[in-house]
Structure 1
Amino acid sequence: MFRRAFWFTAGAAAGVWATTKVNRKLRQLTPESLAAQAANKAIETGHRLKDFALDVRSGMAQREAELGDALGIEGPADRGLPAQRRRAALENHKHHKKHYEMLDEKRSYNRNEDH
């Protein structure tokens, strides 16, 4: 009698355990769960890439400083555009802005014009 009760209990426990495992795996394979897992992996990868880029940037700055010291060159004070190129860029921007303003003036906004 005890033997049958033991095996009955063991079988029921194994069935509950297997059912729980299967249901858990099925929940992991739903589209929503897969999308959430993919999003988490993408975020983790983005953080790793950002950390890598920051490490590379700091290593580059350190090596540049070492080379500057070795060669007796001081680093550039301003990394902006030189004055001539900056002026040209601003003039080019003004030219494009005027061009688009002229196009806007030529456009007619009459809705009935096409009909």
Structure 2
Amino acid sequence: MFRRTFWFTAGAAAGVWATTKVNRKLKQLTPESLAAQAATKAVEAGHKLKDFALDVRDNMAEREAQLGDALGLNGAVDPELPAPRRLAAVESAFTAKHPENTKQPTYIEYNNRNEDH
């Protein structure tokens, strides 16, 4: 009799356990639960992507600073730089074609290739 009671109790416990597991799995597979899980995964992926982008930006700025130091681009600016050079050939050609214009031409004004000549 003790044996039958033991097996009856073991079977009932296994049935309750299996029923509980199946009900939990069924609740996980409902459309609302699947939508919530997908939204959670999407938010997590967005956070990971944002962290990755921030890491890339920080490392890029750090590497640009390293390259700038190596190439001497981040040094102090010399306050006594020479004045910008003027293109004498362009100016003389421009004034030869347009003597009435007293404005000093720029390279862009003279060599505008978008205009019909």
- Name the structure 2 match of 1:5: 5
User: Whole-Å Cα distance in 2 between the matches of residues 52 and 63 of structure 1?
Assistant: 16
Dislocated runs of 4+, deviation >3 Å: none
TM-score (norm 1): 0.64
Higher relative contact order structure (alpha carbons within 8 Å, sequence separation ≥ 6):
2
Show the counterpart of 2:66: 66
Which residue of structure 2 aligns with residue 41 of structure 1?
Answer: 41
- Structure 1: where are the runs of 5+ without partners? 76-115
What are the superposed Cα offsets for residues 16-41 of structure 1, whole Å, 9 maximum, x if unpaired? 00000000000000000000000000
Q: Which has the larger radius of gyration?
A: 2
- Aligned-residue RMSD, C-alpha: 1.1
Higher helix share: 1
In structure 2, C-alpha distance between the alignment counterparts of 1:54 and 1:74, rounded to whole Å? 23
3-state SS, counterpart of residue 73 of structure 2? coil
Unpaired runs of 5+ residues, structure 2, are 76-117
The one-letter code matched in structure 1 to 2:9 is T
**How many residues align structurally?**
75
| Matched-pair identity in % | 84
